Amino acid sequence: MIQPLHPILTPETYHKSGVKLYIYRGDLEHVNAPGNKWHKLKHNLAQAKQQGAKHIISFGGPYSNHLHALGNVCQQLNITPVAIIRGELQPQLTPTLRDFIKCGGILWPSRRDEYRLGMQSSLVAAVSECYERGYWVPEGGSNSQGVNGCYDWAKTISTMAEQQGLNFDAWAVSAGTGATSAGFLACSTTPDIMVFPALKGGGRLSDEIKRMALSQNQQTNLAKLQVFDQYHCGGYAKLPPVLQNYIKTIHILNSNLKLDPIYTAKVVYGLEQEIQSGTLTNKRILIVHTGGLQGWRGFNM
Ligand SMILES: *Cc1c(COP(=O)(O)O)cnc(C)c1O
């Protein structure tokens, strides 16, 4: 059995630098909803149940890890998931959306300009009319309940590290909306939080992460936050050869470890670039694997 928190082997660069890398294997948690998405859904599901919701309505792209997790967990709760999909639906459907349907989920296509408005879109009223007792969850599960779930997750991981006698200078995590990093930042037992945005324009995330963290915990030490926004590798769903090779290298060194192409690979890659540049002050770093391996089905590899 693989331990949830273990050291990982890294390319040469690391050895010389004295940086020690560990990884927390969120990808091995929860068979039906591995990674961070379950943690973001946890309190949302409890609230939906409490309100007697019959439907949970959310948003996502055709390969969304969030929708994949949502479909799987709703099935067990006897709640019907409804997904507003970014853009039109292709008749074939992606493997992710086919899984969603197999869980009893319902799909709504959208215009991209409307989709972008999220909860402000006119789709919200139109969809609400069709599905009674709906509980709405924003894209990625990134509302205050989502941050709260990641805050709990951070507590669990830091307790585990402590029990193993491990002290870290920093945790490294990928970001899309930043809700996961916000929950980690807000937790008083975490060290520095190094955030690697997977999307372009991630520099703007910093303020957003701070805002979410403060609303979770007013005492949040914001100085723990470090955002590294130059490792998005072209943005969402781009997998340049340098990143592909990097994923392979890590997998060859650590045969039981797979990184996902959109999020976690950029964390490990970005960390190595930072180490090469010689500016990194944190030496003992814990990468939190946020899952997302089902997303490989969107790539021809
Ligand atoms: C959704 C996702 C993220 C981003 O989480 P945010 O809370 O939106 O920042 C990171 N990693 C994986 C694998 C994801 O699926």
Task: Tell me how far the alpha carbon of residue 97 lies from the centroid of ligand 1, in angstroms.
Answer: 18
Output the pTM of the full model: 0.96
**How many residues does this entry show for the chain?**
301
Q: Which of 206, 151, 154, 149 is nearest to 175 (CA)?
A: 206
pLDDT digits (tens, 9 = 90+) for 214-232: 999 999 999 999 999 999 9
Give the pLDDT of residue 301: 66
The three-state secondary structure class of 268 is: helix
pLDDT band at 195 (very low <50, low <70, confident <90, very high): very high
Separation of alpha carbons 6 and 25, rounded Å: 8
Q: Whose CA is nearest to atom 2 of ligand 1?
A: 176
Average pLDDT, the chain: 94
Give the pLDDT of residue 118: 93
- Alpha-carbon distances, residue 275 vs 2, 13, 266, 267, 285 (angstroms): 27, 7, 14, 12, 12
Average pLDDT over residues 266-275: 93
Separation of alpha carbons 163 and 84, rounded Å: 42
Over 90: is that where the pLDDT of 203 sits?
no
CA 137 to chain centroid, in Å, comes to 15
Over 90: is that where the pLDDT of 33 sits?
yes
pLDDT band at 171 (very low <50, low <70, confident <90, very high): very high
Pocket lining for ligand 1, CB < 6 angstroms: 35-37, 65, 140, 142, 174-181, 260, 263-264, 290-292
Q: Whose CA is nearest to atom 13 of ligand 1?
A: 292
Give the pLDDT of residue 14: 67
Sign, CA torsion 216/218/221/224: positive
The residue that leads in pLDDT, 204 or 58, is 58
Give the pLDDT of residue 201: 86
Q: Whose CA is nearest to atom 14 of ligand 1?
A: 292
Task: Tell me how far the alpha carbon of residue 25 lies from the centroid of ligand 1, in angstroms.
Answer: 14
Which mutation among 58, 64, 66, 174 tests ligand 1's pocket best, with the greatest number of atoms within 8 A of CB?
Answer: 174
Give the pLDDT of residue 159: 98
Separation of alpha carbons 39 and 23, rounded Å: 18
Edge-to-edge order in the sheet of strand 80-85: 106-108, 80-85, 55-60, 134-136
The three-state secondary structure class of 263 is: coil
Q: Whose CA is nearest to atom 15 of ligand 1?
A: 292
134-136 vs 55-60, strand pairing mode: parallel
Torsion of CA 244, 249, 253, 256, to 10 degrees: 10
Task: Tell me how far the alpha carbon of residue 57 lies from the centroid of ligand 1, in angstroms.
Answer: 19
Give the pLDDT of residue 282: 84
Task: Tell me how far the alpha carbon of residue 85 lies from the centroid of ligand 1, in angstroms.
Answer: 17
Task: Tell me how far the alpha carbon of residue 154 lies from the centroid of ligand 1, in angstroms.
Answer: 14
